[in-house]
Structure 1
Amino acid sequence: MEKPGFSQKPGFGIHPEKLRLRRRFVKIRLIEPRPPGINVFDSSPLPRLGLPIIGTLLHQQGHDVRIYVEMLAPIDWADVGKADLLGLSATTSTAPAAYAIAERAHQLGLSTVIGGPHVTFLPDEALDHCDFVVRGEGQETMLELVEALEAGHPLNDIAGLSFRDQGGEVVHNPDRPLCSEETYAALPWPDLDLIVGQEKMPVTPIMTQWGCPFNCDFCSVIRMFGRRVRARTVEDVLAELEARQPEIVFFYDDNFVADKRWTKQLLRGMIERGLTPLWSAQMRAEAVYADKRTGELDHELLGLMRDSGCTMIYCGFESVNEATLQAYNKRQTVQDIQDSIRALHAYDIRVHGMFVLGSDEDDVATIHHTADFALENNIDTVQFLILTPCPGTPFYERVVEAGRVLSFDWSLYDGFHVLVRPPRMSPYELQIETYRAMARFYSPRQIVRLAIGGVIRNIPFLMGLLWREWRLSVQLPRLAFFSMLPGKRTEVINILRRTLSRRNRELLQRKFMVPLLRQYGHHQIVRWAQQARSQAYVAWLKRLSALSGLERSTVASAVSNH
């Protein structure tokens, strides 16, 4: 399929009437578009923290700032239409939505700017839909852009900015160097109150580090944020936890244990100060080792994680195929994966395993083996994602050059659609077998088994809880009803907050979170299969695979006859 031509829309770029904003205290609106279709974050909507950090910096300079995260609340166009400047953040899958929002704002006379990973690597495309593109880490670039627009200054000296000049020519200013550790550590805590609908967030997001020292083939993090990890001070993170007093935290870092010494210092501080919310984070499998060569586990780290409130770790396992792990440049083995699962479970920490299927080394048997592996090793929850060629990655550059990309409809770049023709199976086989693997893992039978087992193991705890917390007994029918509805997670949390002490809420979540998460996973899989866009794409892949099979058969017959 050909890459769509994003024809330049008239009127984008620098115009005298738009060069200066209308007042000193600028009214700025920031938007994070909703991901397309069904996605795994529907019941736990969390904003990415780029816009809240930028919004906080702008607010500190006296600007009128409001942030719309479409997963939390709809865009109020009556409000947005009165703004001086509209900023959007776009991943690859949300780029079409960001472009549509920017074009609507342009029609209302607003200046528009888009940042984020997708437009960082494809700024020319984005400039067909907006006035300015902020490339890379955007906080300093955005501040300088607003200042220049206010003062009517030229834009050519703003590093990391792309725009069209008054003649319509594209200008890409030099890249902005990655911010220093000192600059990163000095960034303000994101003011979550700037987000419309922030009260709907069941989890508090906290970022402690930028960057990743690794170099996975399909990941754009290092080209966006670099390989040098920049961390906030431990004291600053502890102060934020102290100020927010969250019940549940997700540490947004790409690799929470990039620096073990730093991580251990933070966890010790959390324990010493009694700042122990239920928390989860992402980390690599081999972080559980004290010495990977000998297989010795880092019991100090694991104990600190447990005692500071860790409930779940999100691990990018990626594959159970050793050849695929090498192709991904993952620098880990299947043995590392198994060791990490056992180690985390031994410390009562749940494991969310993330696998990426569809490498050149994978076939249908690999997908079946991955589901077997997840069930046999008692991984608590999983994502079986399909290898996606996101701009900015070495993988994207290779498959585009080789002509293997099936579609450049960016809204499909969400990890749930086959977009690259795999060599060892048809695109349809990869799509349907990945769906079946997810459906098998999240089957009702598995959920019932886990739920019944959990109740039987915890009968004394449950009976004692009902005896001590009489308000829970009164709310039990409503709680049971809402627990069966995956879309009612917020209602369940609110009931528990009203009826249980914080300690008992945490105990209940630890003991029963896995069957509830599995139920939610099953619900999302069914919804994904039922939505029209999924059905249409699967049908298209099936026709495509049939045509490819017919072509191979015709060629083989011709060769045989010849």
Structure 2
Amino acid sequence: MDVNAGRDTTRTLLLLDPYPRNNPYRMTASERRSIWFPKLSLPVIAAYTPPDWDVQLVDEAVQEIDFDHPCDLVGISVMTCYAPRAYELATEFRKRGKTVVLGGVHPTYCPEEALQYCDTIVCGEAEDLWPQAIADFEAGRMKRIYRMEQFPALDDYRAARIQLLSPDSYMTRHCTFTTRGCHFDCEFCSVSPFNGKTTRRRPVPEVIEEIKNVKEWIRAELVERMATGTLREAMTIAAKVWVGLEEGSIVAFVDDLHNSHRAYCRELWQAMKSLNIKWGCQSTLFLGDDPEMVKLAADSGCISVFVGMESISDNSLAETNKGFNQVRKFEDQIKMFHDHGIMVNPGMVFGFDNDDEAVFESTLNFLIRNRVELAYFNVLTPLPGTALYDRYTREGRIFDRDWAKYDGKHVVFRPKRMTPEQLQEGFFWVNHE
């Protein structure tokens, strides 16, 4: 049966990024505007949706969801820690007769669970799958499961429709990516299982053209808002434009390993010099061993790098298959970034088998001593699809499978050298120091 018989041919796709309403770590609006940037998955899905569809996007971290909003199809992106909330949303929309599709990492690795709450799941990277899923929906023959057969090519990639994101809700909406996949294989990480153990790269000219185009439309949007908004809004926007901090000039590269290929980065960063932007990325810390490349990054506008430092213990790094991080080099690597005006934002993980209660204070002292501007602390979390999840399952160490607690803030397994309570208390302590 044709689901569109006898009706307007314009269809509406509602894309939802779930966020638990009772999240104790929920940021205030001002905090989000200071450090938060949106996930790119749904703007990408929007870009790969046929142009005759009306696409609307709601990020629940910054917006409210209207369950009675008119739509034909609902798509929900699901990270593991947001799975319970995603299932709640899916259930509410299905009660209203809507077809619901779930995609992302969690449905990919827990398909039978996810299918209990939706009509269809998309497993793996969705660029090649989504147009077919839409065509099948239009023809009334949508499948229960769409599985990626091979990784999508990144040539002629459609720019994510970040214009669908809520303005004034993030540090910047100007997010993009240059690479997919990671040739490292850290035990706790889902990137290499989900995106592949080799790195695919977008052509540099396409990345540069996208940045120029997005910067241009954001600037045009700001000018329009200055003309139509209040005097206070106009003055605020004008001040940001004057000092070069308006949204379009701040770019967040959301690659999981932006600096995976030196020659590629050299070409990209050299081309970015003329764009007059400030940018940040996720990088390996050992980029700091390469003064020439750090200088080029800074010259092209780099102001911040998130680095997966994870631990100041070589034993813990070896345990998680991250021996390429060398603790003895950390101080010099951090200094190299700082000497070029680049902030270092390390991700630190607590709960490795080598960790005891001393790890919290020693880690904090190291970060303070090296003048680290902003650190992100997490509890080691065995996410489905990772080698860590498989190992802890074999060892019988996982005691809590409430996915809402798989957010890097809650202990869900039994550590080796401290109790779960000691790990949880230490995590709370270091976050509040």
Give the TM-score normalised by the residue count of structure 1.
Answer: 0.67
Contact 2:123–2:147 at 8 Å: present in 1 too? no
Q: Do the aligned residues in 1 keep the contact of 2:14 with 2:74 (CA within 8 Å)?
A: yes
Residue 236 of structure 2 is matched in structure 1 by none
Q: Which runs of 5+ in 2 are unaligned?
A: 216-247
**How far is the alpha carbon of 1:64 from its aligned partner?**
1.2
Q: How does 1:264-413 map to 2 (within 5 A)?
A: 264-271=266-273, 273=274, 275-289=275-289, 298-331=290-323, 332-413=325-406
Query: What residue identity is the alignment partner of 1:122?
Result: C
Q: 1: CA distance between counterparts of 2:404 and 2:142?
A: 35
Q: Kindly indicate which of the two structures has a greater share of residues assigned to helix.
A: 1
Cα drift, residue 231 of structure 1: 1.4
In structure 2, the partner of 1:428 is: 421
Q: Is the 8 A contact 2:103 2:123 kept in 1?
A: yes
Deviation at 1:202, TM superposition (A): 2.7
Report how far residue 174 of structure 1 moved.
Answer: 5.5
**Does residue 177 in structure 1 map to residue 185 in structure 2?**
no
1:222-237 mapped onto 2 (5 Å cutoff): 222-237=192-207
Q: Secondary structure at the match of 1:368?
A: helix
Matches within 5 A, 1:498-509: none
CA distance in 2, matches of 1:23, 1:119: 32
The answer on whether the counterparts of 1:20 and 1:152 sit within 8 Å (CA) in structure 2 is no
Partner amino acid for 1:398?
R
Is 1:64 equivalent to 2:54 in the alignment?
Answer: yes
Q: Aligned AA for 1:205?
A: C
> What residue is the counterpart of 1:151 in the other structure?
139
For residues 402-438 of structure 1, the C-alpha deviation after alignment (integer angstroms, 9 at most, x for no partner) is 2211211111111111111101001111111122122
- CA distance change for structure 1 residues 434 and 200 in 2, over 3 Å: closer, same or farther? closer
For residues 373-522 of structure 1, what are the structure 2 equivalents within 5 Å? 373-440=366-433
Check the 8 A contact 1:93/1:412 in 2, yes or no: yes
Per-residue deviation, residues 495-531 of structure 1 (Å, max 9, x unmatched): xxxxxxxxxxxxxxxxxxxxxxxxxxxxxxxxxxxxx
Write out aligned runs for 1:137-216 (5 A).
Answer: 137-153=125-141, 155=143, 163=144, 175-179=148-152, 183-195=153-165, 197-203=166-172, 204-216=174-186
Shift of 1:308: 1.5
**Larger of the two Rg values belongs to structure:** 1
Shift of residue 338, structure 1, vs aligned partner: 2.1
Q: Which runs of no fewer than 5 residues in structure 1 stay unpaired? A: 1-15, 156-162, 164-171, 290-297, 441-562
Classify the secondary structure of the residue corresponding to 1:200.
coil
Structure-2 separation of matches of 1:105 and 1:394: 34
**What is the percentage of aligned positions where both structures have the same residue?**
31
> Secondary structure in 1 aligned to 2:121?
strand
Question: CA, structure 1 residues 174+133, in 2 after alignment: closer, same or farther (shift >3 Å)?
Answer: closer
The alpha carbon displacement at 1:325 in A equals: 0.3
Report the CA distance between 1:153 and its aligned residue.
Answer: 4.2
Correspondence for 2:110 among 99, 122, 125:
122
Residue 94 (structure 1) aligned with residue 82 (structure 2): yes
The DSSP-based 3-state class of the residue aligned with 1:249 is strand
AA in 2 matched with 1:38: Y
After superposing on structure 2, the runs of 4+ consecutive aligned residues of structure 1 that deviate more than 3 Å are 16-25, 39-45, 152-155, 172-175
For the residues of structure 1 that align with 2:204 and 2:2, how far apart are their CA atoms? Answer: 47
The root-mean-square deviation of aligned C-alpha atoms, in Å, is 2.0
Q: Which amino acid aligns with 1:346?
A: D
TM-score by length of 2: 0.86
Tell me, yes or no, if the aligned pair for 1:99 and 1:129 is still in contact at 8 Å: yes
Residues 107, 429 of structure 1: CA spacing in aligned structure 2 closer, same or farther, 3 A cutoff?
A: same
1:19, distance to aligned residue in structure 2 (A): 10
Q: Does structure 2 conserve the Cα–Cα contact (< 8 Å) formed by 1:20 and 1:150? A: no
Give the aligned partner of residue 26 of structure 1.
11
**CA–CA separation in structure 2 for the residues paired with 1:33 and 1:55:** 16
Tell me how far apart the structure 1 counterparts of residues 202 and 146 of structure 2 sit (CA, whole Å): 29
- What CA deviation, in whole Å up to 9, does each residue of 1:65-122 have, x standing for no partner? 111111232113332xx21110000101111111000000000000100001111100
The aligned length equals 393
